[in-house]
Chain A
């Protein structure tokens, strides 16, 4: 029987299927589909929170996971491509907000803290890379996986600290370290992507070209971020006292993200710097609502649903040792780095344990923000597929459980939460 005819028949059947069936949902208008998903996500998140005190963003991500390729296959990752600008905006808003929370001067006032941030990134990346090479992965792909794995998800930690209303030393260091290691991951990944795709004659030439490109990205992103911060400072007096302030902030986030993408700079670095610059220039004149207001809150829910839609369990049966190694190597790297410099940087042992655990949510931002589409594995050409698949699996695991670890750490180890 001709397959084209079968496919056409299937499509026609799905289109006519009632909305409450899986086929009907798969054929539904994408806007309607996402709206329904948001409704389910809100209800599921609230139920999980009230019953087991699980962070609400876990419920949002689980909804996406259930609807995605892992279970019901209502959406495919690539079908989200038209929504990617909105996802980038959601991430951008959170990164800008994170930037306003960070005070770079702290790294000068506490040199051991600065050393701790660097050591945490390097050790996590090195241990994950080394462990994967030991398992048989080629070193370049292992380095890519290590670079992605060293990053803590800044959006997950910021969303979790919002929800738990945590305040204190561990919370502040968590946000700072998440920002620092996210930047290191983005820069490192840019360098490694170039090397992966390179066809240069010698490794030295490859590395030189990659380094020059990384320098361009860092300096360009920094300047873009500073310009955005200055623009907010100059334009804010015009809208001060009106509800338009969050709108102005979101508009500038969009402009900064799009310019960064167009000029192949780092939106993550640009937006963090924009937030820091705005805070430094405007000081108490800068009011940043959580998620940049109610529009940002909607985008936030959409973001975590979409992260869930990207979850993958493909190959878990044969790749679980690689996944376990990635997770354990990350935990070991954080614990060793934070623990080694805890006392010198002014942290207690229990706080150090809390911080190490709170750093566990994994981030796919480094790739998401660098990719044009959600088919991000295709944007790492030349990469060893099983390694990247193991990385995807580890990311799935440590994103959906990440908020739980962070909340546990802040509540029971650091005692810094103040939940309602």
Chain B
């Protein structure tokens, strides 16, 4: 099967996907009620869509194609309100967060569906361990060459999104010490990591043909890269973010990405190179482990800086793009969160007050559903 042709898409348009936790209101453990919630939401009135994910305690929502922060935020808030009403009807809660604090993977059930059963058969227990919750952001590109250029240029900023969105410090009842432990589950998959360094769509097509000829992959969906081209949509998809605890943060992260993409496209501050990936895994680890307090190495200058400072500088550089894109509210929210701390720190603060983890999950539920 050859690589699909890259669909032309309007540049810098956005699409946001959020994977959400369904929890019981009795013990706040994951509740396998995705089918029930999908049934209740069947006739929803939003422009967004909702679909199942690999295990029955997860659902995924996807926004329509958006261009501006205010409209994207309004759609996400409408989605939150309708999902929350549906959840209350079923006596369940919905929470953000990259992991559930104390669920055990062996208790999760695979959602009935051909693709999910295929993954479960292929990856065994990894499929159930993939009960993690992320935000994926699609950015529109006009052709495959520009999409690949942007994909590799963005690699330098991947740690930003990991640290800003990090909301998965707890796994199986324990503080992992990571701000984003979710990505450790993604790393376990053999086709995770980063895309091969190709800057032309034809060259990438040759790579894809080689991979499919080995039988290792069947489609683009089999790659679990941090940034992945999506030719049928005409987008590149950033997949490193944990699901934030609020839809406001989700919208802000998407628009921060939009601003950086515009900055890279119009100003071309550097050309991506293979050697940029020499520091990629180190920077990524720092962001996962230490969040905003991590340190990263600039692939071009080789300078080591604090991640928080690097984000501040980037925000300053993209401010005029934020103004043009009417995304200043988004960049201001990102700026505030640099000092207030990310969602992982918020979750730890709930726990440090002596509260049990079920109370932490309840607090996260109330935060997402807008009840706090």
- Asked whether, in the complex, the Cβ of B355 is within 8 Å of the Cβ of A346, the reply is no
Asked if A284 is an interface residue, CB under 8 A from chain B, the answer is yes
Q: Which of A61-69, A103-111, A222-230 contacts B (4 or more CB under 8 A)?
A: A103-111
Asked if A283 contacts B36 (CB within 8 A), the reply is: no
Cα-based distance from A284 to B29 in the complex (angstroms): 12
What residues of B have a CB within 8 angstroms of the CB of A167 in the complex?
24, 31-32
Which residue of chain B lies nearest to A108 when distances are taken between CB atoms in the complex?
B88
A290 within 8 A of B: no
Q: Is the interface of A mostly helix, strand, loop or mixed?
A: helix
Provide the residues of chain B in CB contact with A285, threshold 8 Å.
356
**B25 near A: Cβ within 8 Å?**
yes
Please, what's the 1-or-0 string for B17-38, where 1 marks a CB less than 8 Å from any CB in chain A?
0000000111000011101100
Interface of chain A residues 74 through 100 with chain B (CB within 8 A): none
A351 to chain B, nearest CB (A): 8
From 10 to 54 in chain B, residues with beta carbon under 8 angstroms from any chain A beta carbon are 24-26, 31-33, 35-36, 39-40
| B43 smallest CB distance to A (angstroms) | 11
Determine the interface band of chain A, counting residues with CB < 8 A from chain B.
20 to 34
A103-B26, A284-B362 given as contacts; is B91 within 8 A of A418 (CB)?
no
Count A-B pairs with CB separation below 8 Å.
49
Write the chain B residue with the least CB distance to A343. B39
Shortest C-beta distance, B355 to chain A (Å), equals: 7
Write the residues of chain A forming the contact surface with B, with a CB cutoff of 8 angstroms. Answer: 101, 103, 106, 109-110, 113, 167-169, 172, 283-285, 345-348, 351, 416, 418
7 extra interchain contacts, Cβ-Cβ under 8 A, other than A106-B88, A168-B33, A346-B40? A168-B32, A169-B33, A169-B90, A284-B362, A346-B86, A346-B89, A416-B32
C-alpha spacing A346/B107, complex, angstroms = 25
B86 to chain A, nearest CB (A): 8
Decide: B36 and A346 in contact? CB cutoff 8 A: yes
A415 CA / B228 CA spacing, docked (Å): 36
In the assembled complex, how far is the CB of residue A369 from the closest CB belonging to chain B, in whole angstroms? Answer: 25
Q: Given contacts A103-B25, A168-B33, A418-B107, is CB(A284)–CB(B359) below 8 Å?
A: yes
- Number of chain B interface residues as a range: 20 to 34
User: Chain B contacts of A172 at CB under 8 A?
Assistant: 26, 91
Chain A residues lying within 8 Å of B359, measured Cβ to Cβ, are 283-284
* Contact across chains for A110 and B89 when beta carbons are under 8 A apart: yes
Partner of B31, one of A109, A168, A284, A418: A168
In the complex, what's the smallest C-beta–C-beta distance from B130 to chain A, in angstroms? 19
A169 cross-chain contacts in B, Cβ below 8 A:
33, 36, 90
* A344 CB to nearest B CB, Å: 10
Kindly provide the distance from the CB of B350 to the nearest chain A CB, expressed in whole angstroms: 11
A358 CA to B105 CA, complexed, in Å: 28
Bound-complex Cα distance A351 to B91 (A): 16
Give me the 10 closest cross-chain CB pairs, A-B, nearest first. Answer: A109-B88, A284-B359, A106-B91, A110-B89, A346-B40, A284-B356, A284-B358, A169-B36, A346-B89, A346-B90
Could you tell me the distance in whole angstroms from the C-beta of A384 to the nearest C-beta in chain B?
41
Closest chain B CB from A175 CB (angstroms): 10
